[in-house]
Structure 1
Amino acid sequence: MRPLRFLVPGTSGRYRCGGLLVEQQTARLLAELVPTELVTYRQREPGLPYLVDLLRAEPLGSSAATDSLWIVSWGFDVPRQLRALRGRPVAYHAHSSGYGFRLPPGVPVLAVSRNTLGYWGQWASRNPLFLVPNALEASWIARGDRPHNCGAEPAPSGRSIDVLIQRRKTSTYVLEQLVPALRARGLTVLVQDGWVEDLVGLFNSAKVVVYDSADHWRCSGVSEGFGLPPIEALACGCVLFSSLNHALADNLDPGGLAHQIGMGSLAADGERIAAAVADPAAWLPAPRRLEELLDELSEPRLRQRWRQALDAINIHIDRLQAGEPPLRPPSLLQLRLERWRQRLARRLA
């Protein structure tokens, strides 16, 4: 199995975000299977290799140029990265979709959600496709205060927060209409903003979590790639009210694992959330179903999925390097011409 190189713009400052944390977590887990390293390409950082330096040290034609498998993931930068890595083994770790680029033939896609998998199943139908959902860090599964979790760490003060909302990505509707309406009902609402040292402890302190990212992603023009915060809330035994856009619909279903936010009217949202605060047990998902989901999204399961995908990708790359051409899907023009030809043939017949 080829060593892995995860390409990230940087690991500090403005580059710290959910996508970076996922890449770091994945690299850490896969280091137990195969030599793995992070490589930066926008800012140099102590202790990490830099893309330009590696490309100069390993020119095309040398054995070193094909020894490693490069993993690219930063949506808007992917086309440029693929051009820089042309002739080298590369795969796309696809988080969000909708960036507008098309992948070259033969480039494998490692999709983090069924939503993203379906997108590339449409636009890269002849490329190797794999599903590798993001994993919850072990602390969420081990410490989350949910029913039937023997290792739970309940908050010392109990669930003192009626409703918890993380400001980032949250809609104006929730922040400017729903929050005042809930507080007017006498509920304790915390809008969390900024760095929190112990997120598990914070979520264990909340009865209800509200997550509404649909407006954020509609404005951004790309999709919610996976949506870990709602799963983290469920792992901590919170009642979840969430939007159901993009990859959130992979796991969340209205009235099952979660409840829809923005369901028709402000009054309806307020009444349902107040009822969930008053009796959380009546609004929580079935424990068995939740544990099955958490097991599927655990770090050992992610490692297993990646192992299977990497085995297939390495075989695929070996075939390409042996001279076997990759499959190419027909162009949209070819498809339309073929459809027109078939219609004309039917009319003539």
Structure 2
Amino acid sequence: MRPVRFLLPGTTGRFRCGGLLVELQSARLLAELVPTQLVTYRQREPAHPFLADLLRQEAAPGRALWIVSWGFDVPRLLARLRGRPVAYHAHSSGYGFDLPAGVPVLAVSRNTLGYWGDRAPRSPLLLVPNALEPKWLERGRRHGDGERPIDVLVQRRKSSAYLLKQLVPALRARGLVVQVQEGWVDDLVDLFNSAKVVLYDSADYWRGRGVSEGFGLPPIEALACGCVVFSSFNHALADSLDPGVLGHQIGAGSLAGDIERIEAAAADPDRWRPTPAALAPLLEGCSEAALRARWASALAEVNGHWDRLLAGEPPLHSPAPWRLRWGQGLAGLGRHLVRLLPTRRV
């Protein structure tokens, strides 16, 4: 197995976000399987090598498998890494770029897997969902159900104007304790374990940006902490949140309907929580042990693929959509003309 290098723009300051934490967690898990290294390419950091330095020092193809992931940076990074083993760790979809032939895709959700299954059907496609850190699976470790002081918890980032400007004021007017969290929180597990209901509505956020919700960890984190979840079902959220079973739709037709259901859930969370039988498979599939096993299988596939390419096997190519449409149009026109020709009698 090749050593692995995760490419990140940086690991501190403005690069600190949920996507960074997921990549750092993935790198930590892979370090248990193969030698793993973090490499930065925008911000020089004393603790990590810098991409430009490594490319000057090492001729292609090198020994390592490079993992790229950072949205709009992916095409430029793949161009810089041409000739080297590389894979795309795909989170959000919809950025609009295409992948060079032969670049494997490590998709974090079925939604993203389906996107690349359409856009790059001849590339190796693998599913490696994100994982919950073990602390999230210790449900209710800080607060018992009767001691949760927050009726409704909302994270401001990605939340819709409907949620913040209509629903939250309406719930407060009904006397519910609603906390809107913003900024960085060092102990999110404690915060989630203090809430009865968590609201998550990212559909407008992602629609406005033209890309997708890549995985949607916050609702799963809330479920792991014993919260009742009301969420949008856009993109990868539909992978995990079965409406009425694991979560409940937010913005389901009317403001009055939302208020009625959320108020009822805060008053009697047990009635609105998913059953243990429904929740257990989701949390088990999101465990670090499950993800480590998926990464081991995916790395074996990717390494075997690059062994073949570096030995001279050409990668498969998929025709461009315009070629497919043109060819299918010509074939249809040919069939139509044949039907118009007079039939010769024998």
Please, what TM-score do these two structures have when normalized by structure 2? 0.96
2:83 is aligned with 1:87: yes
Q: 1:41, 1:50 within 8 Å by CA — same for their partners in 2?
A: yes
2:242 is aligned with 1:253: yes
2:120 is aligned with 1:124: yes
Deviation at 1:291, TM superposition (A): 1.2
Deviation at 1:157, TM superposition (A): 7.8
2:44 is aligned with 1:49: no
2:296 is aligned with 1:311: no
Q: Counterparts in 2 of 1:83-232, with a 5 A limit?
A: 83-141=79-137, 143-145=138-140, 152-154=141-143, 158-232=147-221
Residue in 2 that maps onto 1:274? 263
Q: 2:245, 2:278 within 8 Å by CA — same for their partners in 1?
A: no
- Provide the C-alpha distance between the structure 2 equivalents of 1:193 and 1:329, rounded to a whole number of angstroms: 44
Deviation at 1:156, TM superposition (A): 10
Unmatched tracts of structure 2, length 5 or more? 340-346
State the one-letter code of the partner of 2:149: S
State the one-letter code of the partner of 1:127: S
Q: 1:7, 1:39 within 8 Å by CA — same for their partners in 2?
A: yes
Deviation at 1:276, TM superposition (A): 0.5
Question: More deviation in 8-17 or 329-338?
Answer: 329-338
Deviation at 1:292, TM superposition (A): 1.1
- Provide the C-alpha distance between the structure 2 equivalents of 1:35 and 1:258, rounded to a whole number of angstroms: 39
Deviation at 1:328, TM superposition (A): 0.3
- Provide the C-alpha distance between the structure 1 equivalents of 2:69 and 2:322, rounded to a whole number of angstroms: 29
| Cα shift readout 1:305-342 (whole Å, capped 9, x = no counterpart) | 01101101111000001111000011223212321232
| Cα shift readout 1:96-149 (whole Å, capped 9, x = no counterpart) | 0011100000000000001100000000000000000000011101x222xxxx
Please identify the structure whose Cα radius of gyration is greater: 2
Which of 304, 324, 330 lines up with 2:313 in the alignment?
A: 324
| Cα shift readout 1:16-51 (whole Å, capped 9, x = no counterpart) | 011110000000011000000110000100110000
Unmatched tracts of structure 1, length 5 or more? 146-151
- Provide the C-alpha distance between the structure 1 equivalents of 2:280 and 2:322, rounded to a whole number of angstroms: 47
Deviation at 1:193, TM superposition (A): 1.2
Q: How many residues are matched? A: 338
2:14 is aligned with 1:4: no
| Cα shift readout 1:262-282 (whole Å, capped 9, x = no counterpart) | 011111100100000111111
Q: 1:239, 1:284 within 8 Å by CA — same for their partners in 2?
A: yes
| Cα shift readout 1:134-170 (whole Å, capped 9, x = no counterpart) | 00011101x222xxxxxx4425981110000011111
State the one-letter code of the partner of 1:138: P
Deviation at 1:197, TM superposition (A): 2.4
Please, what TM-score do these two structures have when normalized by structure 1? 0.95
Deviation at 1:198, TM superposition (A): 1.6
- Provide the C-alpha distance between the structure 1 equivalents of 2:51 and 2:146, rounded to a whole number of angstroms: 48
Report SS of the residue matched to 2:79.
Answer: helix
Q: 1:162, 1:277 within 8 Å by CA — same for their partners in 2?
A: yes
Deviation at 1:173, TM superposition (A): 0.8
| Cα shift readout 1:151-209 (whole Å, capped 9, x = no counterpart) | x4425981110000011111111111111100111100000112222211111111100
* Residues 117/40 of structure 1: CA separation in 2 closer, same or farther (3 Å cut): same
Q: 1:155, 1:201 within 8 Å by CA — same for their partners in 2?
A: no
Residue in 2 that maps onto 1:149? none
Q: 2:85, 2:306 within 8 Å by CA — same for their partners in 1?
A: yes
Residue in 1 that maps onto 2:13? 13
- Provide the C-alpha distance between the structure 2 equivalents of 1:194 and 1:78, rounded to a whole number of angstroms: 27
Report SS of the residue matched to 2:198.
Answer: strand
